[in-house]
Amino acid sequence: MFEAVARPFRSGRGGTLPMTVPAEAIVATGTLFDGRSARPNPVTIHLGERLEITGAGIREDWSLFDIRAGETEPPTMRIGVAGSPIRVEFTHQALAAALAARCPDLRVDDEKRGGVLRLVLWSIAAGVSVLLAAIYGVPVAAGILAPLVPQPVEMRFGLAVDGQIVSLLGDPPLCAEPAAKSVLDRLVARMTEGAGLPGDPVVSIRRHAVANALTLPDARVIVLSDILAKSKTPDEFAGILAHEFGHVAARDPTRAVITAGGVSFLLSLILGDLTGSTVIVGVGQAAISAGYSRDAERAADAYGVAMLARAGGDGAALAAVLERIDSDADTEASPTGFLRSHPYTRDRAVKIRDLAGEKPQGRQVLSEDDWQTLQGICAAEPAKPATDRNQRP
């Protein structure tokens, strides 16, 4: 029939493929289907350097690198060109063997390969979409939803986050010396009277070496005792409280919890860890970081200055304590945390003093006796941690 000789065949991909190339061209007959109708078209198939297919009104010239074989039952073989609907069927065994030897991609499944690529691309697109939703969409949605959260739901938010935060902080003991606690409660009542805050504000102080104050949903404020230690006047301490009440008024804690929960949920979808613990831990850590936006911080500062002035204190005291905490955070071995996520302390302090105006003469929110009493709130034996964190402090 024909004699076969070994001859290197250039692949067109920067190399050569060792192939068995027939010394004579192979000619066979077959049937062509144009992909537009079911009508069979008799054709002549000529295999040389390329594959030529001719018939009545038909002339095809195919590169051997583009030929693909379809699934058929021997001895029938079906071939086509990648990306074309045209198919040719034949039963010539020598032609089939020669094509198998000379067409490097004959058995490549382009559809399957393209399907895998599409799957990978769609997976990447889905992941990017989820990340964009977490970065941009969730905060916007949280801002819309936060004012709509019913009080009973916000109360449950507060309970869940309160327990998680106390646990993440290492269960710091509650400071509750009775006389000092009474002073604190009177100060909070005086400052929030007529403020129209959502919920009934409750402030608790816990013994901790980090200067921080955390505002939670349901008007809960946790003050770590180092804040009290760093406050030189009652107005400075009251300024911190007033700032946190500003976050309460704006529903910032609820917004932060919704954002943290939504982001944790979306990231869990990507990472495959869709558990309640993942979401709750993310919410607790977000509340500890207290990373509100710059606009939210400025609004809370302005609210705090106005509240402190109404209570008879000096709004500029808030600037003084913020600057002191920020300075201590840069010099102490154990950095304070209150300002780490709060932008531009110096600029904030300037703005706060501008809002506060002239310092009121001889006025402050607490008498010296009450201030000294309040400073001793952690002096007594620390209160044992509550066995039921579902109760308000």
Residue 153 is assigned to a structural domain of this protein: yes
Beta pairing, strands 87-90 & 26-33: antiparallel
Residues 165 and 312 in one domain: yes
Give pLDDT tens digits for 162-214: 888 888 888 999 998 999 999 999 999 999 998 889 888 999 999 999 888 98
Domain that holds residue 21: 4-108
Residues 64-102 as b/e (b if ≥16 CB within 10 A, e otherwise) read bbebbbeeeeeeebbbbbeeeebbbbbebeebbebbebb
C-beta atoms surrounding 178 within 10 Å: 9
**48 and 87 inside one domain:** yes
- Give every CB contact of residue 134 below 8 A, 6+ residues apart in sequence: 262, 263, 266, 267
Residues 337 and 196 in one domain: yes
Residue 114 included in any domain:
no
Q: Is residue 380 part of a domain?
A: no
**What is the reported pLDDT for 26?**
93
113 is a domain residue: no
Can you give the pLDDT at residue 198? 86
Regions in the chain scoring below 50 on pLDDT:
1-23, 274-279, 281, 290, 331-343, 383, 385-390
176 lies in the same domain as 36: no
Structural domain total, the chain? 2
**Residue 383 covered by a domain:** no
The verdict on 178 and 44 lying in the same domain is no
| Co-location of 365 and 225 in the same domain | yes
Q: The whole model's pTM is what?
A: 0.59
Asked whether residue 100 falls in the same domain as residue 153, the answer is no
pLDDT, position 266: 57
Structure tokens at 214: 């955390």
Q: Tell me the pLDDT tens digit for each residue of 143-173.
A: 676 677 777 777 887 788 788 888 888 899 9
**Residues 139, 97: one domain?**
no
Q: Are residues 186 and 284 in the same domain?
A: yes
Residues 100 and 133 grouped into a single domain: no
Contacts 24+ apart (CB under 8 A), 77-82: 79/106, 82/110
What's residue 114's pLDDT? 53
pLDDT value of residue 15: 43
145 and 20 share one domain: no
In contact, 318 and 243? CB cutoff 8 Å:
yes
Predicted pLDDT of residue 293: 75
CATH code of the domain covering residue 41: 2.30.29
